[in-house]
Structure 1
Amino acid sequence: ATIHTESGGYAFRATIRYGGDLKPLADYLEDIDGCEVLSLGNSLEIVKDLGDAESVHEQYQLGNLKGTHGIGHVRMATESDVDLASAHPYWAYPFADVSVVHNGQLTNYHVWRRRLERMGHRFQSECDSEIIAVYLAQQLENGMPLETAMKHSLDDFDGVFTYLVATGNELGVAKDEMAAKPLVLMETDDLVVMASEEMAIRALMGREVESRDPFEREVLTWQV
């Protein structure tokens, strides 16, 4: 394998020429003392660290990234550790190009973690958000469309939650049956913007906007 690295603070980018299955590679790298794999893939790059959005933006020069879509989350840890492994976004280890950010709580987290571990999956944290990422990636691996997988997740997961998912060519959002976790959406012919509050979208756009709040059990996806 040929490896090229670029430093960016705590984490760094490594370009690897590799044609095999991702799981053996991910497991090998993860088992190296002091090494933690934040993501593997061909098109989706995960950047995360401790601190506020501005400090992470400056440290990793996020303004220089180019792409079609992205998701991000500044969170207050309630039931997980405050460390890099517990920061969002979550990569669906060891699947390529699947990432999730999530607001809420899965009350059947331990049931699904044990179920996925029995299938051979390995987790990098104790956070329930990672379960969503791996669950969706496994469904995609089985040939299920993203929108269908997300709809199934609303039946399989218990709790109160809203989550966003990004793949190499799709973006999606889902809300549970109570829709208690906030999310507003602005959509035009060529742009989709989502945030917990409309004021964040107004700050980004620099003007007043028309937004809506997705309803209970709503699943939306976009091809990008």
Structure 2
Amino acid sequence: PGVRVFSLGHSLEVIKYTADARAIYERWRLGDAPFTHAVGHVRMATESRVDVNHSHPFWARPFPDVTVVHNGHVTNYYKNRRIYEMRGYTFQTENDTEFVAVYLAEQLSLGLTLDEAVRRSIDDLDGSFTYLVSTADGFGVARDRFSTKPCLVAETDDWVAVVSEGIALAGAFGDQTEIHTYELQGGEARAWTRA
């Protein structure tokens, strides 16, 4: 019951919906939207309820314009969440992804660059995970040291794509040979920002 706010900010819009990418693209007329980056996440919930409130991406409440999608499990989630709650943060779900979003947003608020924040998270978060964080001016990815969750990156001079399944790249870009594709290694983090 009641109303849930999925995002609050100036530059990011969070759309949570149950449909395939084409249906979302058409329903919200994303072809007309002036955006620099977009994040989509198809998820099979294994650790939280299956409903729109518990679906990705998660907004880093109370920080504006930071969201995270995540694949895996952060094993020190409950310990870190309690520490953050004692410092005054509140959480809307029991999902570890929501904590990752708040953790990263706090790092940014303390003056770290996006690249520094995602790199620091490799040491501060335990578990098997790959996540993507989106901010107003860029996005970053991190993969845990065990590299149990996939993370493929494709880059050209004009764009970057990050996927967990290689078939997603083939479906989107066909057989373009000028695309540099690689797998993020265990313990590696990267960030891209607008120039």
- Name the TM tier (shorter chain): over 0.9
Aligned to 1:222: 192
Kindly report which structure 2 residues correspond to 1:14-33, keeping only aligned pairs within 5 A, or say none: none
Query: Contact between 2:115 and 2:190, CA under 8 Å: does it hold in 1?
Result: yes
2:136 counterpart of 1:168: yes
Q: TM-score, normalised by structure 2?
A: 0.92
1:146 to 89, 114, 126: 114
Aligned to 1:50: 18
1:193 to 161, 165, 169: 161
1:188-210, Cα deviation, whole Å (9 max, x unpaired): 11110111122211211132454
Q: 1:63, 1:87 → 2: CA distance?
A: 23
Q: TM-score, normalised by structure 1?
A: 0.81
* Code of the aligned partner of 1:216: G
1:61-104, Cα deviation, whole Å (9 max, x unpaired): 33332211121211000010011111111110011110111000
Segments of 5+ residues of structure 1 without an aligned counterpart are 1-32
2:185 counterpart of 1:211: no
Q: 2:140, 2:67 → 1: CA distance?
A: 11
* Code of the aligned partner of 1:156: D
Query: Contact between 1:53 and 1:74, CA under 8 Å: does it hold in 2?
Result: no
* Code of the aligned partner of 2:183: D
Segments of 5+ residues of structure 2 without an aligned counterpart are none
Query: Contact between 1:198 and 1:211, CA under 8 Å: does it hold in 2?
Result: no
Q: 2:94, 2:18 → 1: CA distance?
A: 17
2:155 counterpart of 1:155: no
Query: Contact between 1:50 and 1:87, CA under 8 Å: does it hold in 2?
Result: no
Q: 1:124, 1:188 → 2: CA distance?
A: 38
2:4 to 15, 18, 36: 36
Query: Contact between 2:118 and 2:191, CA under 8 Å: does it hold in 1?
Result: no
Alpha-carbon RMSD across the aligned residues, in angstroms, is 1.5
1:139-188, Cα deviation, whole Å (9 max, x unpaired): 11111212212122111111000000111112111101011101111111
Larger radius of gyration: 1
Query: Contact between 1:102 and 1:161, CA under 8 Å: does it hold in 2?
Result: yes
Give the secondary-structure state (helix, strand or coil) at the position aligned to 1:211: strand
Q: 1:125, 1:163 → 2: CA distance?
A: 18
- Between the two structures, name the one with larger relative contact order (CA 8 Å, sep ≥ 6): 2
Q: 1:86, 1:53 → 2: CA distance?
A: 19
Aligned to 1:128: 96
